[in-house]
Amino acid sequence: GSRSFHMASSSSPLGNGAQEEEEEALREEFEQLLEEASSEDRVARQQRLAQLVFTRGVPRETEEEVMRLQTHMEPGLRARLWKAFLAVPPYEAEEYLRYVHCDDELEAWKEAAIIEDDVPRTLKKNFEFSARAPQDILWRVLYCILRAIPTQKYIQGMNVTLAPFLVVMPEVDAFFSYRRFITMFWPTYYLSGMP
């Protein structure tokens, strides 16, 4: 069937109640796989999760997940899936807060003009992004990334690649997930010294 952003099949013949039951069953299947993390190796779990995503889709965010995301409380199912696929190691929020409250004179401050120019342009016509990730959060996460990876320079476009993380997960989770993404999965792009 055709794919939509939220469901595997956008043309489901099921009624609303049946579709909600199907989504809840799918959500429970994902939750079970995510909880089994310690009982199997990471690669096998990622393969099982990927198969489920590709064959059945990801359930829509619940109202509760949206509210928790908007208040930056905890990640929903979609965010936890991203973290599982990225193999984000365990972390403590205090580490991120140290970067937020750091008063150093990092090279990052020399890049302020580029970041200041890029942040307001980031998905400015996407109202969902603007609602979920205000400019101050985008700016703060970018600066913290530069503090966390001293060899990293700001490269135009980092704001746009960070944006989806902030749409699906709270700020702290987005920081650690994005840091993992750029250091482990896209290092040649970000560490190449591009201006």
| pLDDT digits 0-9 by tens, 21-38 | 888 888 898 888 888 765
The predicted model scores a pTM of: 0.78
pLDDT of 100-155, one tens digit each?
988 665 555 666 677 777 877 777 777 777 777 788 888 899 989 988 987 777 88
Q: How far, rounded to the nearest angstrom, does the alpha carbon of residue 188 sit from its chain's CA centroid?
A: 20
**Residue 186, C-beta contacts closer than 8 angstroms, at least 6 positions apart:** none
**Residue 66, C-beta contacts closer than 8 angstroms, at least 6 positions apart:** 76
**116: its two tokens:** 């200041």
pLDDT tier for residue 5 given thresholds of 50, 70 and 90: very low
Is the distance from CB of 181 to CB of 89 less than 8 angstroms?
A: no
